[in-house]
Amino acid sequence: MRILVTGGAGFIGSNFIRYWCEQHPGDRVVAYDALTYAGNRENLDGLDAGFVQGDVCDLEAAQRAMDDEQIDTVVHFAAESHNSLAILDPARFFRTNVLGTQALLEASRRHGVARFHHISTCEVYGDLDLESDERFTEESPYRPRTPYNASKAGADHAVRAYAETFELPVTITNCSNNYGPYQFPEKVIPLFTTRALGDEPLPLYESTQNRREWLHVLDHCRAIEAVLAGGRVGETYHVGSGVEATIEEIADAVLAGLGKPASLKQIVPDRPGHDRRYLLDTTKIRAELGWEPSIGFAAGMAETVAWYAANRSWWEPLRGRSPVVETGWAR
C-alpha cells in the first residue's frame, strides 16, 4: 500500500503514521502537511516516512504529490479543529475543512486512488442533553452548532457527493474526542497538563459538567486500519470508546496524576455555542469489523499525563504558537 496522510505532522496524523510504519513496514507512507501553527515536523522524527509540505487547498500540489509517490490510498486528517479558534476566525475553518477537502477529493479523482478515507467528528451531529440516554448513530441527522462543526459537516457532504457523482471509492469515520501523546497544547488534556506542571491555573468553562467521550489516539489508529482493511466502500463508521468524562473530571485526573492541588482549577466564561455532550454508537464497526477499544481511560490518561511531564522539550517551544487564550469571550 502507498498511503498519503494529510495532516501527517499533526496530532492524530503523526500517531497514525507512527502506528502504520510499525505495523506495516513494507508500505510507503507519505505525510502531506502545510505546517501551520499546530503542525510539527518533529512529530515525524525517526520514522521511515516521506514528507511533502503542501496545503490541502492546493489541488495541483496535492495531485503532484499523489502522482510522484504513486499513491493508492489517501487518509485525510488535515483540518482546522480547535472550536475556540473557529469562533475567532471561522473563515479559515471553512477554507481548510470544506474547500480543502473538495480540492483533495478532486486531486484523488484525477489521480485515480483506490481508497479515499476521510476522518470526521462526532460534532457534526450537534449535541445531546446531559440527562439523555441517546447516542448518535451513523443515521443521525446533521445539526452542527459551531463554525468548526459546520465546516466538518460540509466536508462530509463533499466526500459523499464525490462518491455518488464520480464513484470515488470513499469511507468515512466519525470519531469522539482523541487524547494521547503529541497533541498540540491548546487542546484540553495537554493544556491542563502543561499548565499544571508550571503551577498555572487550569481554565474550566462554567459548564463544568458538560461531557465528552474520550478515545485514545492509538485505538483510533487501529479503527482506521480496520476500515481500510475490511470496511465497505461508501460506508460511514463511528469510532468511540463509550467512556464519558466531564471537564472537571479531566482536570481532577490531571491534577491527581501530577500531585497538584485542586486550587489550580479556575472557572472561566463559557465558550459561545459550547456543546453539552456527545456520545457515539459504535455497534456497526464492532459488528462488521471486530474493532473495539483496547486502552482503558484511567490507564490511558495516566500514561498521557506522564508523557507530557517527561517531554517538556517537545511541548515547551509550542506554547506560544496558539492563537487562542481560554480566559474569556465577547458575547
- pLDDT tens digits, residue range 259-298? 999 999 998 887 676 768 889 999 999 999 999 999 999 9
Is 278 inside a domain boundary?
A: no
Q: Measured between alpha carbons, how far is 125 from 136 in angstroms, rounded to an integer?
A: 7
Is 169 inside a domain boundary?
A: yes
What is the pLDDT at residue 133?
86
pLDDT at 253 over 90: yes
Is 138 inside a domain boundary?
A: yes
Exposed/middle/buried for residue 321 (C-beta within 10 Å: 0-12, 13-18, 19+) = middle
What is the pLDDT at residue 106?
98
What is the pLDDT at residue 211?
85
Chain-centroid distance, C-alpha 285: 18
What is the pLDDT at residue 240?
97
Coil/strand/helix, residue 268: strand
What is the pLDDT at residue 326?
60
> How many separate domains does the chain show?
1
Residues 21-43, mean pLDDT to the nearest whole number: 96
Which amino acid is located at 144 in the chain?
A: P
Coil/strand/helix, residue 73: strand
Closest by CA to 120, choosing from 227, 205, 34, is 227
pLDDT at 243 over 80: yes
pLDDT at 142 over 70: yes
What is the pLDDT at residue 273?
64
Is 19 inside a domain boundary?
A: yes
pLDDT at 224 over 60: yes
Is 294 inside a domain boundary?
A: no
* Helical ranges in 264-296 per DSSP H: 283-289
Q: Measured between alpha carbons, how far is 278 from 79 in angstroms, rounded to an integer?
A: 20
The grid coordinates listed for 38 are 499546530
Is 119 inside a domain boundary?
A: yes
Query: Residue 34 belongs to a domain with what CATH number?
Result: 3.40.50.720
What is the pLDDT at residue 205?
85
Is 315 inside a domain boundary?
A: no
User: How many CB atoms within 10 Å of residue 179?
Assistant: 24
Which amino acid is located at 104 in the chain?
A: L
Report the 3 state secondary structure along 16-69: HHHHHHHHCCCCEEEEEECCCCCCCHHHHCCCCCEEEECCCCCHHHHHHHHHHH
Coil/strand/helix, residue 175: strand
Q: Measured between alpha carbons, how far is 89 from 74 in angstroms, rounded to an integer?
A: 28
In terms of DSSP bridges, do strands 211-216 and 244-246 run parallel, antiparallel, or are they unpaired? antiparallel
What is the pLDDT at residue 331?
47
Closest by CA to 305, choosing from 242, 252, 263, 244, is 252
Determine which of 57-61, 138-142, 207-211, 243-247 has the lowest per-residue pLDDT on average.
207-211
Q: How high is the mean pLDDT of the chain?
A: 94
pLDDT tens digits along 9-24:
999 999 999 999 999 9
Contact 189/173 with Cβ under 8 angstroms?
no
Side by side, which strands form the sheet with 73-76? 50-53, 28-33, 2-6, 73-76, 115-121, 170-175, 236-239
pLDDT at 216 over 60: yes
Domain containing 234 equals 2-179+216-239
Which amino acid is located at 261 in the chain?
A: P
Exposed/middle/buried for residue 252 (C-beta within 10 Å: 0-12, 13-18, 19+) = middle
Is 50 inside a domain boundary?
A: yes
What is the pLDDT at residue 174?
98
* Per-residue pLDDT band at 129 (split at 50, 70, 90): confident
What is the pLDDT at residue 172?
98
Contact 223/173 with Cβ under 8 angstroms?
yes
Sign of the CA dihedral with 302 first, then 125, 77, and 231 last: positive
